[in-house]
Amino acid sequence: MTERMQCFISLRKQSAWMPQNMSMQAEDFETILSGYEMVALIANSESVDITKITRTLPENTLYIFFTGCAKVLTEPFGRDAVLCHRLVAGGTKFLKSQKHFDRAYSLFKHGPKAEIGVIAERSPANGATAPSQPRTSELVPHTLDFDHTFGSLYPVDRSPTTGFALAIWLAEKAPRANICLCGFTGVAGLQFNMYTGHDWTFEQIMLQLFVKKGRILRFEDSLSEPAGTFAQIHHRFPEFSEATIALVASNVLANRYTGMERQMAKLWSKTKLERRIRGFFRRFRSFGH
């Protein structure tokens, strides 16, 4: 375990507090978490190296995986683990199909220690009323209702990723837990798709704020220099405050992002004919079968 990670755990143990208005299910889940030195959330990301993660994190770590964990686990996992599922239709249905569940269960040598469901539906318009009570589901023993807890926090008409919803919920509701995010990069890889219904930029901003506060640790950060590129600018040129650097950086990134969107729109327009032809032959083959 790295020195930085040991320092993080020590500081977190000194600043624990417990909110009083948690549901019974949340308290039960908090009890499960309290027996571990660290809680690692493993994203379904191709950047995840599970061998490196288990070798680096403390021995007494609880690993939280998601239903599609077959993307990151190539063999049965022997450590203590929790399996997290996305719930839809107000918690009455699972998002994933049975084959994903069967595959996930086969990847845990001793079975998951617990299963939790996350309700995080499309964010309503500003001012819309959040659920008055946290919703529960008969499908899982523990239900975390992101919509009830955070209301219209998320950008309108977008839905949070399950990993983000769980991470933010834990950061606020399970303050005793030392949370480590593994593979939460928000960057598209070459193999796994990134659903455009999520606001990946917003999520990375929120997660980085909690990292900055010291409430969450990123596994990838623990393997690199603690100071990022922008922090190095402030260190070398102290006349530029962190706030000024952040403001300039956000403007530059916004301009670059807008330019990238325009280029993507042009590319999408130029490939319209090719996509129509491909779709025609796909339908033709399906009709032939």
Answer yes or no: is pLDDT of 278 > 50. Answer: yes
Number of residues in the chain: 289
Which pair of tokens denotes residue 22? 């948690």
* pLDDT the model gives residue 249: 80
Radius of gyration of the chain (CA): 21
Interval 140-184: pLDDT, tens: 888 888 888 887 788 888 889 999 999 999 998 887 889 999 998
**3-class state of residue 257 by DSSP:** helix
- How distant is the alpha carbon of residue 279 from its chain centre? 33
> What mean pLDDT comes out for the span 41-61?
92
Between 197 and 38, where is the model more confident? 38
Of 54-63, 130-139, 230-239, 257-266, the one with minimum mean pLDDT is: 257-266
Q: Is the dihedral of CA 237, 241, 242, 248 positive or negative?
A: negative
Task: Provide the mean pLDDT of the chain.
Answer: 80
pLDDT confidence band for 18 (50 / 70 / 90): very low
Which pair of tokens denotes residue 241? 């405050």
Q: What is the dihedral of CA 186, 31, 123, 41, to 10 degrees?
A: 10
**DSSP states along 62-117:** EEEEETTGGGT-SS-B-S-EEEEEEEEGGGTEESS-HHHHHHHHHTBTT--SEEEE
| β-pair partners for 89 | none
Find which of 118-127, 132-141, 226-235 is predicted with most confidence, using mean pLDDT: 132-141
pLDDT confidence band for 104 (50 / 70 / 90): very high
Between 51 and 269, where is the model more confident? 51
Q: Give the angle 143-147-148 at the CA atoms, nearest 5°.
A: 75
Distance CA 284, CA 79 (A): 48
Nearest Cα neighbor of 171 from 225, 119, 208, 223 is 208
Q: Give the angle 62-63-67 at the CA atoms, nearest 5°.
A: 140
Distance CA 145, CA 133 (A): 9
Q: Which residue has the tokens 């980085």?
A: 208
Which pair of tokens denotes residue 29? 């889940």
Distance CA 124, CA 143 (A): 20
| β-pair partners for 170 | none
Distance CA 22, CA 14 (A): 22
Domain segments of the chain: what residues? 3-222, 229-288
Answer yes or no: is pLDDT of 227 > 60. Answer: no
Distance CA 108, CA 78 (A): 6
User: Taking the CB of residue 75, how many other CB atoms lie within 10 A of it?
Assistant: 8
Q: Which residue has the tokens 């779709």?
A: 279
Q: Phi, psi at residue 274, to the nearest 5°?
A: -60, -40
* pLDDT the model gives residue 174: 82
Residues of the chain above pLDDT 70, percent = 81
